[in-house]
């Protein structure tokens, strides 16, 4: 299929046995660690009620936190690992009008279990593939934003049999800034363009820096330096590149670079969107995803 560009808006290891559990996190290391049950945290309970049904799942030796809402074809949203699923509530509510939306918080972030050592993007991708198997999901649309967009891309490259399509929302991994300082400065410059995202995401970022410190610092380095051109060239899954025209963190040139590498890819540009338009402009984003899932690739 050819490559298409559409403007929306005003211009048009986790290896091992997987178990579903409803209780607390009990590490399998045998060292007697005691971790407060995720479901017992008041903030987590309130967020789960707002987002839909929340539960924990075991994947190998780690716990992932999953919320689910809506009906229809399954769409799995991976929150950026520097924040959490609750940050994306506006987008989830909008998408749930058209699809069954599952939000999966990955280890080393949010309400998922902490990691003993930071992971690579490939290990996150393997965990996602095994999570989809544990949730008995096949042929899903996988959605990743920013940092989790990189994970979604690697899943599409390495585990295409699990997916019907992948949506990369202002994904990192192309033309990286090469330094954490440059990344932080870009995010700071963009803060005024994303008041809703900043209000919702800042508490989650602080939580991750406090409770998932090593993972968060490692992820910042990955966001600043990762080059996923090699993985992108292997992707043969239908791909929607959903980008904000005003993205200062990962400018639109990165989307064009990805599109050149993925044969069956469509680029949708939000003319007023920035790096976080998935939260700032949820209805517009949900409409693009609904069209993509319906098989039109986001085109009208």
Starting from the edge strand earliest in sequence, which strands make up the sheet with 4-8, in order? 4-8, 265-270, 239-244, 163-169, 140-145, 74-78, 100-105, 62-69, 53-59, 18-21
Place of tokens 């095994």: 130
Nearest to 127 by CA among 68, 59, 28, 54: 59
- The string of pLDDT tens digits covering residues 27-39 is 333 333 233 333 3
Q: Is the pLDDT of residue 42 over 90?
A: no
Burial of 277 (0-12, 13-18, 19+ CB in 10 A): buried
Question: What's the pLDDT score for residue 29?
Answer: 35
- The string of pLDDT tens digits covering residues 102-136 is 999 999 999 999 999 999 999 999 999 999 999 99
User: In the chain, what are the helix, strand and coil shares in percent, each to the nearest 5?
Assistant: 45, 20, 35
- Provide CB contacts within 8 A for 93, sequence distance 6+: 69, 282
Total residues found in the chain within this entry:
300
Q: Is the pLDDT of residue 183 over 90?
A: yes
Q: What is the model's pTM?
A: 0.84
Extended strands (E) in the chain: 4-8, 18-21, 53-59, 62-69, 74-78, 100-105, 140-145, 163-169, 239-244, 265-270
Question: What's the pLDDT score for residue 19?
Answer: 39
- Distance between CA atoms of 287 and 221, rounded to whole angstroms? 33
Mean pLDDT of 65-81: 97
Classify residue 71 as left (phi > 0), alpha (psi -120 to 50) or beta: beta
**Pairing between β-strand 74-78 and β-strand 62-69 as defined by DSSP bridges:** unpaired
For 4-26, b where at least 16 C-beta lie within 10 A, e where not — what string?
ebbebbeeeebeeebeeeeeebe
- Provide CB contacts within 8 A for 184, sequence distance 6+: none
For 190-217, b where at least 16 C-beta lie within 10 A, e where not — what string?
beebbeebbebbeebbebbeeebeebbe
- Distance between CA atoms of 27 and 36, rounded to whole angstroms? 11
- The string of pLDDT tens digits covering residues 147-171 is 999 999 999 999 999 999 999 999 9
Classify residue 67 as left (phi > 0), alpha (psi -120 to 50) or beta: beta
Question: What's the pLDDT score for residue 53?
Answer: 72
Q: Is the pLDDT of residue 297 over 90?
A: no
């Amino acid at each position: 299929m050819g490559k298409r560009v559409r403007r929306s808006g005003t211009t048009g290891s986790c290896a091992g046995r997987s178990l579903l559990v409803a209780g607390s996190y009990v590490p399998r290391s045998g060292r007697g660690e005691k971790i407060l049950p995720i479901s017992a945290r008041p903030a987590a309970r309130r967020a789960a009620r707002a987002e839909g049904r929340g539960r924990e799942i075991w994947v190998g030796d780690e716990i992932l936190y999953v919320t689910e809402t809506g009906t229809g074809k399954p769409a799995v949203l991976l929150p950026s690992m520097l924040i959490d699923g609750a940050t994306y509530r506006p987008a989830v509510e909008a998408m749930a009008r058209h699809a069954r939306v599952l939000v999966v918080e990955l280890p080393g972030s949010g309400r998922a279990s902490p990691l003993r050592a930071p992971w690579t993007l490939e290990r996150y991708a393997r965990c996602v593939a095994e999570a989809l198997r544990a949730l008995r999901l096949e042929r899903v649309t996988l959605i990743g934003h920013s940092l989790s967009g990189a994970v979604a891309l690697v899943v599409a490259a390495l585990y295409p049999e699990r997916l019907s399509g992948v949506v990369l929302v202002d994904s990192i991994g192309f033309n990286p800034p090469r330094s954490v300082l440059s990344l932080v400065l870009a995010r700071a410059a963009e803060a005024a363009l994303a008041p809703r995202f900043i209000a919702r995401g800042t508490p989650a970022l602080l939580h991750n820096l406090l409770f998932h410190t090593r993972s968060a610092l490692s992820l910042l380095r990955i966001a600043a330096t990762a080059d996923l051109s090699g993985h992108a060239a292997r992707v043969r899954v239908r791909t929607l590149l959903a980008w904000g025209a005003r993205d200062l963190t990962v400018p639109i040139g990165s989307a064009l670079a990805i599109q050149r590498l993925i044969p069956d890819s469509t680029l949708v540009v939000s003319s007023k969107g920035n790096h976080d338009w998935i939260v700032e402009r949820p209805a517009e984003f949900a409409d693009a995803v609904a069209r993509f899932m319906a098989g039109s690739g986001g085109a009208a």
